[in-house]
Amino acid sequence: MITDEAFRQAVKTAIAEHRKDRNIAFTWEGQTYWIKRRLSNGRNQFAKSSVNVQFYTEIARSSIAHTLTGLSPEIVYLDADCMVTRAAGENINHWMRRRDVSKEEKLEILIRTGQALGELHQAGMTHGRPALRDFLFNQGKVTLLDWENQPRSENIKKRKTLDYLLLLLSLFREPYARKDYVEALEKGYADKAGGETREWAQTFLRKHALIGHLAKALDVFHMKDVEAFSRLYRYLED
Determine the Cα–Cα distance for residues 140 and 60; give it in Å rounded to an integer: 26
pLDDT at 46 over 70: no
Q: What is the CATH number of the domain that holds 135?
A: 1.10.510.10
Give the structural domain span for 151. Answer: 90-237
Question: Which residues are within 8 A (CB) of 142 and not within 5 positions of it... i.e. 6 or more apart?
Answer: 71, 112, 113, 115, 116, 135, 136
Q: Do 231 and 152 share a domain, yes or no?
A: yes
The answer to whether the CB of 210 falls within 8 A of the CB of 139 is no
Q: Do 59 and 106 share a domain, yes or no?
A: no
Q: What is the pTM of this model?
A: 0.91
pLDDT in tens, 193-214: 999 999 999 999 999 877 777 7
Cα dihedral: 157, 114, 51, 78 (round 10): 120
Q: Do 94 and 44 share a domain, yes or no?
A: no
Rounded to 5 degrees, what are φ and ψ at 62? -65, -40
Q: Do 183 and 66 share a domain, yes or no?
A: no
pLDDT in tens, 102-145: 999 999 999 999 999 999 999 999 999 999 999 999 999 999 99
